[in-house]
Protein backbone atom coordinates (compact mmCIF):
# COMPACT_ATOMS: atom_id res chain seq x y z
CA UNK A 1 0.00 0.00 0.00
CA UNK A 2 1.42 3.35 -1.02
CA UNK A 3 1.98 6.04 1.56
CA UNK A 4 -0.42 8.95 1.84
CA UNK A 5 2.41 11.23 0.66
CA UNK A 6 2.77 9.19 -2.53
CA UNK A 7 -1.00 9.14 -3.00
CA UNK A 8 -1.26 12.87 -2.44
CA UNK A 9 1.37 13.61 -5.08
CA UNK A 10 -0.39 11.35 -7.59
CA UNK A 11 -3.79 12.85 -6.76
CA UNK A 12 -2.46 16.38 -7.27
CA UNK A 13 -1.28 15.50 -10.77
CA UNK A 14 -4.52 13.69 -11.60
CA UNK A 15 -6.71 16.42 -10.15
CA UNK A 16 -4.92 19.17 -12.05
CA UNK A 17 -5.30 17.24 -15.30
CA UNK A 18 -8.90 16.18 -14.79
CA UNK A 19 -10.37 19.33 -13.26
CA UNK A 20 -9.97 21.35 -16.46
CA UNK A 21 -11.27 18.57 -18.70
CA UNK A 22 -14.23 17.03 -16.95
CA UNK A 23 -16.44 20.06 -17.55
CA UNK A 24 -16.31 19.33 -21.27
CA UNK A 25 -18.34 16.16 -20.82
CA UNK A 26 -22.13 16.31 -21.16
CA UNK A 27 -23.76 16.98 -17.83
CA UNK A 28 -26.48 14.75 -16.48
CA UNK A 29 -29.72 16.24 -15.21
CA UNK A 30 -30.94 15.29 -11.77
CA UNK A 31 -34.57 15.13 -12.82
CA UNK A 32 -33.99 12.60 -15.57
CA UNK A 33 -31.89 10.38 -13.39
CA UNK A 34 -34.39 10.50 -10.57
CA UNK A 35 -37.04 9.47 -13.07
CA UNK A 36 -34.82 6.55 -14.01
CA UNK A 37 -34.68 5.57 -10.36
CA UNK A 38 -38.46 5.62 -10.19
CA UNK A 39 -38.78 3.49 -13.32
CA UNK A 40 -36.45 0.94 -11.73
CA UNK A 41 -38.62 0.84 -8.59
CA UNK A 42 -35.88 2.31 -6.43
CA UNK A 43 -36.95 4.77 -3.76
CA UNK A 44 -35.78 8.26 -4.73
CA UNK A 45 -35.00 9.17 -1.13
CA UNK A 46 -33.34 6.92 1.39
CA UNK A 47 -34.86 6.69 4.85
CA UNK A 48 -32.50 8.72 7.03
CA UNK A 49 -33.48 6.76 10.13
CA UNK A 50 -31.94 3.62 8.55
CA UNK A 51 -28.57 5.29 7.93
CA UNK A 52 -25.84 5.83 10.49
CA UNK A 53 -24.37 9.33 10.43
CA UNK A 54 -21.27 10.46 12.28
CA UNK A 55 -20.67 14.17 12.93
CA UNK A 56 -23.14 15.16 10.20
CA UNK A 57 -25.41 18.18 10.19
CA UNK A 58 -29.10 17.82 9.37
CA UNK A 59 -28.45 19.27 5.92
CA UNK A 60 -25.60 16.82 5.31
CA UNK A 61 -27.83 13.93 6.34
CA UNK A 62 -30.42 15.07 3.81
CA UNK A 63 -27.79 15.37 1.07
CA UNK A 64 -26.50 11.85 1.71
CA UNK A 65 -30.04 10.47 1.78
CA UNK A 66 -30.73 12.03 -1.63
CA UNK A 67 -27.59 10.59 -3.24
CA UNK A 68 -28.04 7.00 -2.09
CA UNK A 69 -31.06 6.03 -4.24
CA UNK A 70 -29.51 7.56 -7.34
CA UNK A 71 -26.42 5.40 -6.81
CA UNK A 72 -28.65 2.36 -6.28
CA UNK A 73 -30.58 3.07 -9.49
CA UNK A 74 -27.43 3.56 -11.52
CA UNK A 75 -25.90 0.35 -10.18
CA UNK A 76 -29.02 -1.64 -11.08
CA UNK A 77 -29.25 -0.04 -14.51
CA UNK A 78 -25.55 -0.69 -15.17
CA UNK A 79 -25.70 -4.34 -14.17
CA UNK A 80 -28.84 -4.85 -16.27
CA UNK A 81 -27.09 -3.30 -19.25
CA UNK A 82 -24.00 -5.47 -18.85
CA UNK A 83 -26.16 -8.58 -18.46
CA UNK A 84 -28.01 -7.70 -21.66
CA UNK A 85 -24.92 -7.20 -23.81
CA UNK A 86 -23.51 -10.42 -22.40
CA UNK A 87 -26.64 -12.41 -23.26
CA UNK A 88 -26.86 -10.80 -26.70
CA UNK A 89 -23.16 -11.46 -27.38
CA UNK A 90 -22.59 -7.79 -28.22
CA UNK A 91 -20.16 -6.87 -25.45
CA UNK A 92 -17.18 -7.04 -27.81
CA UNK A 93 -18.58 -4.24 -29.98
CA UNK A 94 -20.43 -2.21 -27.36
CA UNK A 95 -19.35 1.44 -27.41
CA UNK A 96 -20.41 2.23 -23.86
CA UNK A 97 -18.35 -0.64 -22.52
CA UNK A 98 -15.34 0.25 -24.69
CA UNK A 99 -15.33 3.92 -23.65
CA UNK A 100 -14.76 3.15 -19.97
CA UNK A 101 -13.16 -0.32 -19.96
CA UNK A 102 -11.41 -0.59 -23.30
CA UNK A 103 -11.05 -3.47 -25.71
CA UNK A 104 -13.17 -6.49 -24.87
CA UNK A 105 -11.82 -9.77 -23.62
CA UNK A 106 -13.92 -12.37 -21.88
CA UNK A 107 -11.70 -12.24 -18.80
CA UNK A 108 -11.86 -8.46 -18.43
CA UNK A 109 -15.59 -8.39 -19.07
CA UNK A 110 -16.01 -11.02 -16.36
CA UNK A 111 -14.16 -8.76 -13.93
CA UNK A 112 -16.34 -5.78 -14.82
CA UNK A 113 -19.66 -7.57 -14.52
CA UNK A 114 -18.54 -9.22 -11.28
CA UNK A 115 -17.63 -5.90 -9.71
CA UNK A 116 -20.79 -4.19 -10.96
CA UNK A 117 -22.89 -7.03 -9.53
CA UNK A 118 -21.17 -6.49 -6.19
CA UNK A 119 -21.84 -2.74 -6.36
CA UNK A 120 -25.49 -3.45 -7.22
CA UNK A 121 -25.83 -5.46 -4.02
CA UNK A 122 -24.17 -2.92 -1.76
CA UNK A 123 -26.55 -1.66 0.92
CA UNK A 124 -25.58 2.00 0.83
CA UNK A 125 -28.20 2.75 3.45
CA UNK A 126 -26.39 0.47 5.91
CA UNK A 127 -23.10 2.34 5.69
CA UNK A 128 -21.84 4.70 8.36
CA UNK A 129 -21.24 8.11 6.79
CA UNK A 130 -18.54 10.13 8.53
CA UNK A 131 -18.92 13.82 7.73
CA UNK A 132 -15.85 15.05 9.62
CA UNK A 133 -13.28 12.32 8.98
CA UNK A 134 -10.09 14.39 8.96
CA UNK A 135 -9.07 14.08 5.31
CA UNK A 136 -5.77 15.86 5.97
CA UNK A 137 -3.61 16.68 2.94
CA UNK A 138 -6.08 14.91 0.67
CA UNK A 139 -8.99 17.20 1.61
CA UNK A 140 -8.68 19.51 -1.44
CA UNK A 141 -8.30 16.59 -3.82
CA UNK A 142 -10.77 13.79 -3.10
CA UNK A 143 -14.48 13.53 -2.40
CA UNK A 144 -14.38 10.52 -0.09
CA UNK A 145 -12.37 7.48 0.91
CA UNK A 146 -12.87 4.05 2.43
CA UNK A 147 -10.82 1.31 3.98
CA UNK A 148 -11.39 -1.65 1.63
CA UNK A 149 -11.22 -3.97 4.64
CA UNK A 150 -14.15 -2.20 6.32
CA UNK A 151 -17.27 -2.41 4.17
CA UNK A 152 -19.47 -0.34 6.47
CA UNK A 153 -17.78 3.08 6.68
CA UNK A 154 -17.30 5.83 4.10
CA UNK A 155 -15.49 9.03 5.01
CA UNK A 156 -16.76 12.14 3.23
CA UNK A 157 -14.34 14.98 2.52
CA UNK A 158 -15.19 18.67 1.93
CA UNK A 159 -15.34 18.29 -1.87
CA UNK A 160 -18.25 15.86 -1.51
CA UNK A 161 -20.54 18.69 -0.42
CA UNK A 162 -19.60 21.08 -3.22
CA UNK A 163 -21.21 19.15 -6.08
CA UNK A 164 -24.69 17.96 -7.02
CA UNK A 165 -26.52 14.74 -6.22
CA UNK A 166 -25.28 13.09 -9.43
CA UNK A 167 -21.65 13.68 -8.54
CA UNK A 168 -22.26 12.42 -5.01
CA UNK A 169 -23.97 9.28 -6.33
CA UNK A 170 -20.99 8.66 -8.61
CA UNK A 171 -18.72 9.06 -5.57
CA UNK A 172 -20.66 6.37 -3.71
CA UNK A 173 -20.29 3.97 -6.64
CA UNK A 174 -16.58 4.80 -6.84
CA UNK A 175 -16.12 3.96 -3.16
CA UNK A 176 -18.27 0.82 -3.33
CA UNK A 177 -16.09 -0.52 -6.14
CA UNK A 178 -13.09 -0.65 -3.79
CA UNK A 179 -14.64 -3.50 -1.82
CA UNK A 180 -13.75 -7.02 -3.03
CA UNK A 181 -16.69 -8.59 -4.92
CA UNK A 182 -15.81 -12.10 -3.74
CA UNK A 183 -13.19 -14.33 -2.25
CA UNK A 184 -11.37 -14.75 -5.58
CA UNK A 185 -11.58 -11.20 -6.92
CA UNK A 186 -10.08 -8.02 -5.55
CA UNK A 187 -11.82 -4.68 -5.41
CA UNK A 188 -10.63 -1.73 -7.47
CA UNK A 189 -7.31 -0.21 -6.54
CA UNK A 190 -7.29 2.09 -3.53
CA UNK A 191 -4.32 4.07 -2.22
CA UNK A 192 -1.89 2.48 -4.71
CA UNK A 193 -2.76 4.26 -7.94
CA UNK A 194 -6.02 5.66 -9.26
CA UNK A 195 -6.91 7.61 -12.37
CA UNK A 196 -9.34 10.36 -11.41
CA UNK A 197 -11.67 12.17 -13.79
CA UNK A 198 -13.61 11.12 -16.86
CA UNK A 199 -10.96 12.01 -19.41
CA UNK A 200 -8.21 10.16 -17.57
CA UNK A 201 -10.52 7.15 -17.18
CA UNK A 202 -11.26 7.16 -20.92
CA UNK A 203 -7.57 7.48 -21.75
CA UNK A 204 -6.84 4.55 -19.45
CA UNK A 205 -9.46 2.41 -21.22
CA UNK A 206 -7.81 3.21 -24.54
CA UNK A 207 -4.21 2.59 -23.46
CA UNK A 208 -4.44 0.04 -20.65
CA UNK A 209 -7.72 -1.92 -20.42
CA UNK A 210 -6.25 -4.20 -17.75
CA UNK A 211 -5.92 -1.19 -15.47
CA UNK A 212 -9.26 0.30 -16.52
CA UNK A 213 -11.16 -2.69 -15.15
CA UNK A 214 -9.62 -2.12 -11.70
CA UNK A 215 -10.01 1.68 -11.70
CA UNK A 216 -12.80 2.96 -9.46
CA UNK A 217 -13.68 6.04 -11.51
CA UNK A 218 -14.17 3.86 -14.59
CA UNK A 219 -17.11 2.18 -12.84
CA UNK A 220 -18.45 5.46 -11.52
CA UNK A 221 -18.47 7.09 -14.95
CA UNK A 222 -19.84 4.02 -16.72
CA UNK A 223 -22.79 4.13 -14.33
CA UNK A 224 -23.18 7.90 -14.41
CA UNK A 225 -23.21 8.34 -18.18
CA UNK A 226 -25.04 5.14 -19.11
CA UNK A 227 -28.41 6.92 -19.64
CA UNK A 228 -26.82 9.20 -22.25
CA UNK A 229 -25.97 8.43 -25.87
CA UNK A 230 -22.41 7.11 -26.10
CA UNK A 231 -19.76 9.60 -27.15
CA UNK A 232 -16.42 8.97 -28.79
CA UNK A 233 -13.87 6.99 -26.81
CA UNK A 234 -10.98 8.62 -28.69
Cβ distance 61 to 51 under 8 Å?
A: yes
Please name which of 88, 87, 85 lies closest in space to residue 98, comparing C-alpha atoms: 85
CA dist., res. 188 & res. 215, Å (int): 5
Q: What is the pLDDT of residue 118?
A: 93
Set out the domains of the chain in order of their start, with CATH numbers.
52-224 (3.40.390.10)
Is-contact 124 42, C-beta < 8 A? Answer: no
Check residue 83 and give its pLDDT: 97
| Residue 203 contacts residue 17 (beta carbons within 8 Å) | no
- Main-chain phi, psi angles of 2, to 5 degrees: -70, 155
Contact between 114 and 185 under an 8 Å Cβ cutoff? The reply is: yes
Per-residue pLDDT at 43: 45
Question: CA 161 to CA 167: how far, in whole Å?
Answer: 10
pLDDT at 49: 55
At 27, give phi and psi (nearest 5°). Answer: -85, 150
Angle subtended at Cα 104 by Cα 170 and Cα 231, rounded to the nearest 5 degrees? 50
pLDDT (0 to 100) of residue 137: 86
Q: What's the predicted TM-score (pTM) here? A: 0.75
- Tens of pLDDT, residue by residue, the chain (234 residues): 333 333 433 343 344 333 322 322 333 333 333 333 334 444 444 555 579 999 999 999 999 999 999 999 999 999 999 999 999 999 999 999 999 999 999 999 999 999 999 999 999 999 999 998 788 887 888 899 988 778 789 999 999 999 999 999 999 999 999 887 654 455 555 444 566 788 899 999 999 999 999 999 999 999 999 877 555 444
Amino acid sequence: MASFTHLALFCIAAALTASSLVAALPSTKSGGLLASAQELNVDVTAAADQITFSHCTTDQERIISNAIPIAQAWALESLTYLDNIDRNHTAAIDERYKIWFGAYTQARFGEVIGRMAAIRHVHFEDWTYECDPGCGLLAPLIHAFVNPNNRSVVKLCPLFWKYDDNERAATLIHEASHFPPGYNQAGTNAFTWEFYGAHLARALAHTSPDRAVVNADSYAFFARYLPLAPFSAT
